[in-house]
Amino acid sequence: MTLEALKPEVEIVLANSAVDVTIRLAQVCELLQQNISYYNWVGFYFINEDNDQELKLHAFAGEPTDHTIIPFGKGICGQVAVSNQNFVVPDVKAQNNYIACSIFVKAEIVIPLFKEGKNIGQIDIDSHTADPFTQADERFLEYINQKVSEIL
């Protein structure tokens, strides 16, 4: 399924207000992970309510991770929490500040999620494919985050 074809599917999942937000986020993660061959792990991190200098994993699809809490500045996700900028990593081995989640991960993309102009979290994608992410992925994930922000 193409990125564009997934947009209405994501909207349907997110619009189902009868389902808890965390479950809807997990369903979006599953939808992306199952339909985009190079999205091997998909997760949403949000600012930790207990410590506003950390990210906390709220929903994901893929292999379980030990990285459920990430300090600001640490790893790709932690850097995005500080920079407020998209971060596309074509080769994770080339990053000094990379937190290894799996020996199979070759690339990562992290897109910040904004609510009322404030960075409140992010979507994180790990890929077992080297350098798979394009500008189309960035725009698609920005779209996903915009739709997510509308239900928060």
Extract the runs of DSSP E, i.e. beta strands, from 24-141. Answer: 41-48, 51-61, 69-71, 87-89, 107-115, 118-127
Answer for the pair 41, 33: CB distance below 8 angstroms, yes or no: yes
Q: 3-149: CATH homologous superfamily?
A: GAF domain (3.30.450.40)
Task: Please state the pTM of the whole predicted model.
Answer: 0.96
| Residue 144 CB neighbours (<10 A) | 24
pLDDT tens-digit map of 72-121 = 999 999 999 999 999 999 999 888 777 777 789 999 999 999 999 999 99
Mean pLDDT confidence for 28-39: 98
Average pLDDT of the chain is 96
